[in-house]
């Protein structure tokens, strides 16, 4: 064995034959393989349909004969703080090795496919030897998800056969069970259809559109104001009050309008304007499934006092004051990157 441990980082949505080929090669060169399963603790979306627990079962079932040599841990995203993400990877690997009772100077490597710009993270760990593996001829996870969620009851396009040909047999069985028996599947199909229709509406544009939105982070007496979405995308998820900027308004006006429309917040506009504590742009290219969307978030702070009355609007299911400590633990229930926005303003990001 060239290594005591090889580290394999990925989302594995789903775990397909390409992932399995990398894992088997890693196991031929290392005593144990550490999987760090990314995008942990996020809500179900068409980009991240499966929990870490479900993806862990996919990995273990596909590599059943080597289960005793697998170490699997969740790895959450840090969209706006790369240093925190790198530190999390280092911490997870260190904890794994310590729990495994390894020697003080184990041989550690990082394995992956340096295929395009998305593989930049492979160069962020110079302390570990990089094992750059060759590309395996298989459909991508994105393509496999599109076949899974594109409505085709009779499989006239052969989508399920393509999935079966590109994932390990136990994973295919899991995907079929998910398709037939999971209550979440129907909502994911609806979300997929909404996003496809949304993108199709802009396909004739001479260039890819960039959308501009605003979001309001209203903190009052240790609570933050959230709304629950009643429509796709993200139906049922909690979100910051916000929306698209109108063509005739500036950013702050848009934010205040959306805030009052969605929550009916009983605070006068001059008081709201005077309570702005900060503002920040959040522009991760993949922050929204709808396409390139840049949001301008405004932080309103009211340290003390009784919580003002709020109520829902026509496009939100509920508006509610939620304790800050609780909101920061709602990763799997928060829309898009709204947890990261909260963490930025509330000091944890």
**3-state class percentages of the chain: helix first, strand second, coil last, to nearest 5:** 40, 20, 40
Q: Work out how many domains the chain is built from and give that number.
A: 2
Please tell me whether residues 130 and 238 are part of one structural domain.
Answer: no
Structural domain range at position 328: 211-346
CA angle 31, 36, 37 (to 5 degrees): 135
Contact 185, 179 (CB under 8 A): yes
Q: Is residue 204 part of a domain?
A: no
Sign of CA dihedral 167, 76, 225, 285: negative
Residue from 50, 103, 53 nearest 73 by CA: 53
CATH number at residue 9: 3.40.50.620
| Helices 169-181/183-200 angle, 10° precision | 90
CATH number at residue 300: 3.90.79.10
Integer-rounded Cα Rg, in Å, for the chain is 22
Separation between Cα atoms, residue 168 and residue 228, nearest integer Å: 37
What single-letter DSSP state applies at residue 315?
A: T
pTM of this structure: 0.92
* Sheet architecture: strand order including 30-37: 70-74, 30-37, 3-10, 108-112, 129-132
Please tell me whether residues 140 and 219 are part of one structural domain.
Answer: no
Cross-strand pairs, 297 = 215, 280
Please tell me whether residues 62 and 112 are part of one structural domain.
Answer: yes
Please tell me whether residues 336 and 279 are part of one structural domain.
Answer: yes
Please classify residue 300 by burial: count the beta carbons closer than 10 Å to its beta carbon, then call 0-12 exposed, 13-18 middle and 19+ buried: buried
Please tell me whether residues 178 and 244 are part of one structural domain.
Answer: no
Q: Is residue 308 part of a domain?
A: yes
Separation between Cα atoms, residue 80 and residue 286, nearest integer Å: 12
Each of the 349 residues of the chain gets a pLDDT tens digit; together they read 899 999 999 999 999 999 999 999 999 999 999 999 999 999 999 999 999 999 999 999 999 999 999 999 999 999 999 999 999 999 999 999 999 998 778 999 999 987 777 788 999 999 999 999 987 778 899 999 999 998 877 777 788 999 999 999 999 999 999 999 899 999 999 999 999 999 999 988 899 899 999 999 999 999 999 999 999 999 999 999 999 999 999 999 999 999 999 999 999 999 999 999 999 999 999 999 999 999 999 999 999 999 999 986 666 678 999 999 999 999 999 999 999 999 999 976 5
Q: Is residue 231 part of a domain?
A: yes
Please classify residue 131 by burial: count the beta carbons closer than 10 Å to its beta carbon, then call 0-12 exposed, 13-18 middle and 19+ buried: buried
Which residue in the block uniquely carries the two structure tokens 């690997």? Answer: 93
Contact 336, 239 (CB under 8 A): yes
Please tell me whether residues 90 and 228 are part of one structural domain.
Answer: no
């Amino acid at each position: 064995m060239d290594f005591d441990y090889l580290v394999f980082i990925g989302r594995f949505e789903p775990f397909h034959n390409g992932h399995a080929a990398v894992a088997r090669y890693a196991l031929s060169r290392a005593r144990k393989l550490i999987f760090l399963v990314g995008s942990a603790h996020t809500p179900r979306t068409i980009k991240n349909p499966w929990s870490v627990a479900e993806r862990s079962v996919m990995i273990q079932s596909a590599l059943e004969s080597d289960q005793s040599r697998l170490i699997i841990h969740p790895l959450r995203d840090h969209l706006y703080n790369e240093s925190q993400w790198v530190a999390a990877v280092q911490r997870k690997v260190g904890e794994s090795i310590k729990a495994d009772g390894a020697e003080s100077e184990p041989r550690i490597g990082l394995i992956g496919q340096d295929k395009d710009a998305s593989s930049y993270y492979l160069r962020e760990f110079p302390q570990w030897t990089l094992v750059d593996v060759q590309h395996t001829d298989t459909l991508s996870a994105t393509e496999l998800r599109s076949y899974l969620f594109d409505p085709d009851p009779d499989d006239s396009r052969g989508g399920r056969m393509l999935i079966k040909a590109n994932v390990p047999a136990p994973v295919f069985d899991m995907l079929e069970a998910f398709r037939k028996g999971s209550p979440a599947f129907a909502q994911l199909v609806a979300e997929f259809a909404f996003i496809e229709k949304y993108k199709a509406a802009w396909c004739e544009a001479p260039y890819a559109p960039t959308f501009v939105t605003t979001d309001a982070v209203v903190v009052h007496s240790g609570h933050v104001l959230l709304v629950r979405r009643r429509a796709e995308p993200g139906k049922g998820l909690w979100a910051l009050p916000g929306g698209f900027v109108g063509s005739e308004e500036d950013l702050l006006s848009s934010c205040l309008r959306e805030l009052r429309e969605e929550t009916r917040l009983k605070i006068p506009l001059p008081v709201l304007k005077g309570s702005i504590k900060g503002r920040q742009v959040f522009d991760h290219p993949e922050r929204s499934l709808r396409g390139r969307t840049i949001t301008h978030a405004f932080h309103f702070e009211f340290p003390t006092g009784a919580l003002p009355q709020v109520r829902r609007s026509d496009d939100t299911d509920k508006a509610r004051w939620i304790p800050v400590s609780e909101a920061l633990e709602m990763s799997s229930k928060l829309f898009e990157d709204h947890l990261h926005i909260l963490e930025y303003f509330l000091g944890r990001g």
